[in-house]
Every structure is written in C-alpha cells, then in structure tokens.
Amino acid sequence: MAEPHDLTALEQAAAIARGELTSAELVAHHLTRVDALGDTVGAFVTVTPERALDAARAADAVPAERRGPLHGVPTAIKDLTLTAGVRTTFGSAAFVDFVPPVDADVVRLMTAAGLVSLGKTTTSELGCSLYSEGLVAPPARNPWDLAYTAGGSSGGAAAAVATGLVPVAQGSDGGGSLRIPAALCGLVGYKPSRGLVSGGPLGFGAFGLPTNGPIGRTVADVAALLDAMAVPVPGEPYLPPPRPAGGYLGVARRADPGRLRVGRFTAPMLADEPVHPECVAAVDRAAALLTTAGHEVVEIDPPLGPATWPLFETVWYALALAPVPPAREAQLLPLTRFLRERGAALGAGALLTTLGELQAQVRLGARRTAGYDLLLCPTLSAPQAPVGWFTADGDPAADFDRQRRFSPYCAIFNVTGDPSVSVPVGRTAAGLPVGVLLSGRYGDDARLVAAAAQLEHCSDGWDRHPAIWRGVDSANVNGSGLGRSAA
C-alpha cells in the first residue's frame, strides 16, 4: 500500500481535501522521517516540529473554499532564506545563532498558500558553492548514493525531497543552485525568469542573478509551488512576467507547449571541459523524446562561451561580500574567505565595466538563439561528484575552478535572466540520475513549464525513488488505506 510520502505534493493536498488525511497527520508522518533520515542525508540545519504541528493544525481549520492546491502540504525553507523567529544560519558558523525578525517574501507567500514548513534545509556557506558541506550541519548527500554530494547551494532541499522528507521545497538559484542539486538527485529544479518571484524584502537584487524557486519530484508539483511563489510584490527591481491563464499548474496539467523549435548543444559555456558521455546521452534521449513529440530539434552552437567566465567570476566575487560581523570573519570557510578577498579588491569602476561587458555578451547570445523557443543542453559536465571532492586539494582557488568545470552551463541562464529547468531524463550505468537543462526565452515561463511537463509524460514519468526511500517503516494513517499494509 502507498505511504503518505509516496504521494506527490498535489496528491497529498487532495487527500487532505477528501478528508483521508489531515495536515497534522501528514506533518507528523514527515517529521518522523526527518528524525530518522534527516542527518543521514544532511537535509536539515534546523527542524521546527512544534511550530510545524501548530501550523498544520491551523491549516486544518481553514475552510475548504479558502484552500489552494498545496494547502496543508509539508515543505521546507532553504537556510539562506529569512524566516522570522527561526534560526537562519546562511550555512555559516558565523551566523549559527542568528534569528531573523522578518520573513522573506517567498516564505510569507508560501505560508499564505497553506504550506507547512518543517524547518531550514542545508545550504552552502552564504550560497557560495555548488556543494553543501559546511560546519553547521552534516554534508548534504545524494540519497541515491550517500558517497556523492547532493549539490548546492540548495543541496539540503534536494536531499529532503529525494528522500521523501518533504514532497516539495523552496530553494534559490544564483548560478545553478536549484538545478544542480535537482540533476544530481533525480528531481525537477526550476529557476524562474528574473523578476517572477520576489527576492525581498531585503537585499539589492544582486545584479539579477539569484532568484527563489521550487524543487520537487514532478513538473506539476513544481508548477503548483511556483504559483504560490510567483505573486507580484511592490517595490521589486524587476518587472514580473505576466501570469498565464490558469496559473503554471494549469499549464503543467495541459502539457501543451505548441510546436517548438529547440536548439540543442553539448559544448560547455563557462569552461573548455570534456563532457561525460552519460551527460551527452541524456541530452540525446531528451532530444529524441522532443522530436517524437513533434518538435524540431536543431544542433546549434552555445549562445555564449568560456570567454564569459571571467565576467561571471568577477560578479560572483562581488556577491560573496554579504555583510558578516568583522569579529566572525575568521569563522568563514576557506572558499568563502577566498571569494570575499577577491571581491573586496574590486573597484567600483571595474565592477561597473564588468557588468556592462556581461550585458553586451547577453545581447549577443540572445541574438544568436533568437530563432529558437527552447535550448537543450546538459545540466552538468559529469553525472555526479563525491562528497569532499571539490575541497580535496585544500586550495580554495582549485576548488572554485573545479566547480566551474563541473557546472559550465547553468550560470549562463542566471546571467541572461531566462527561465531554466533541470529535469531527470537520464541514468548512469550504475542507475544514478542524470539531468538535462531546458531553458526558455525571458518571461516565457509558461511555455517552458508546458514543455517540461510534456517531456515528463513522453518519458513515462520520472518520479522514482532511491532505496533509502523505504528506510523508515510507517504505520497506517487514519485507517485511510494510505500507509503500509498490515500484512
């Protein structure tokens, strides 16, 4: 028999709506799993069981006519994201005791949609790296094979969803931080168009690179969470694209993007790096599925190349300069200190020149790919990386370069602001997930969501689970038929 965590996020909400489960029962079920498996996969920095159960009981008391598609469903918030009254460490020992007085807009909007957070998920320190291995929590590990990283900076979110600790989670993506963990852990990680999801109420927009977004097991679940997040907020620096009729969930359920012209490439954009054959094979499979669905797939050159890297690198140095109390600088990890030292050495003129050159490159790339509705490429240059692999040399400069070579695709779409999603189309010979990247035109999130949903259907679905998924026995819930059979 199915257990509650076997259900998708939308199925869990439907079970609540039918009276088969309560939100409080669902939350208690998932908290049991977090207690048993959370540290094993390094999913959480902070778990808030009492707060979650109180919120679930409040959700159960909301009248049916005021409930949205994910009402009462368990979720989690990335530890980079401000959450009022809950310890938020930004993945750093320098902030181990920090408790924000305000919610980020995305947290407020998810709460308003009836989602119930179980706590804060593991992230890299200040979001600076594509792995989540810090000092405030166990490293985020890939549930498919615990020897491998779950990625970063939304690594804990991916580990939590792929282990069945929550069905969907909030993350953020400044250079691939949702899509990289999704690719590693066999999930759907969605980076929205710039401006679609608020980054407020604090911060300066970070040159438009980072954005909040959803991660989940299915495109429909991710689209439903995107609907909850994508509510216009006054004062944001970027104009949000218009919302499609019926929302992104409606688009995902229709799964009809129209006939598309898809530009396919496998050459890396930020590094001259060989691409693993299993990553190329995943792109080949996605291209074949899209062709079978009636789309035109054309081999093209990448919109941008390795010459873009020094520009992105400079901006990344600047972004590492988040405020840190001077007395706590020494508690930062070597990579973070390395990035901040480089950032502190930048002059205002150099940074402005870099931003101007970067925008010129964006214009060139947009013109090169103007005839295509979507772009298809690998998410990463290799399928997986072991925990500790990036830091093995003890040299932060080598660590940073190794990250660039491992992920030479994702960050380009942070630079352009285009929507981009990693979907788990491939598998390695050992059965580990391999993601591919679909990216759309700026503001055309609806078409990208529809195409990802169509690809999911054409591939016969990809909601598959690692062995650890069955690592916790659970009792039947409410005698509803959900849960393990007594036999």
Active-site hit among 23, 117, 132, 153: 153
Position 400, amino acid: F
Peptide linkage before 153 cis (omega within 30 of 0): yes
Question: Which of 92, 124, 132, 177 is an active site residue?
Answer: 177
Contacts for 132 with CB less than 8 Å, ≥ 6 apart: 42, 91, 122, 123, 124, 139, 140, 149, 150, 151, 152, 153, 154, 155, 156
Q: Looking at 418-477, list the stretches that DSSP marks H as alpha helix, in order from N- to C-terminal side.
A: 445-458
Question: Of 54, 51, 3, 21, whose CA–CA distance to 163 is shortest?
Answer: 3
Label residue 63 exposed, middle or buried (CB < 10 Å: 0-12, 13-18, 19+).
exposed
Q: Are 152 and 177 in contact (CB under 8 A)?
A: yes
Is 78 labeled as catalytic in the residue annotation?
A: yes
Measured CA angle at 323 (ends 319, 325), to 5 deg: 145
For strand 433-440 and strand 374-378, is the pairing parallel, antiparallel, or unpaired?
A: antiparallel
What one-character DSSP code corresponds to residue 437? E
Collapsing DSSP states into helix, strand and coil, what is residue 216?
Answer: strand
> How many residues are recorded in the chain?
487
The answer to whether 420 is a known catalytic residue is: no
Q: Among this protein's residues, is 191 annotated catalytic? A: no
Provide the 3-class DSSP secondary structure of residue 446.
helix
H-helix or E-strand containing 108? Answer: helix 105-112
- DSSP per-residue letters across 225-279: HHHHH----TT-SSPPPPPPTTHHHHHHHH----S-EEEE--S-SSS--PPPHHH
- Region for 19 from its dihedrals, namely left if φ exceeds 0, alpha if ψ lies in -120 to 50, beta otherwise: left
Kindly list the catalytic residues.
Answer: 78, 153, 177
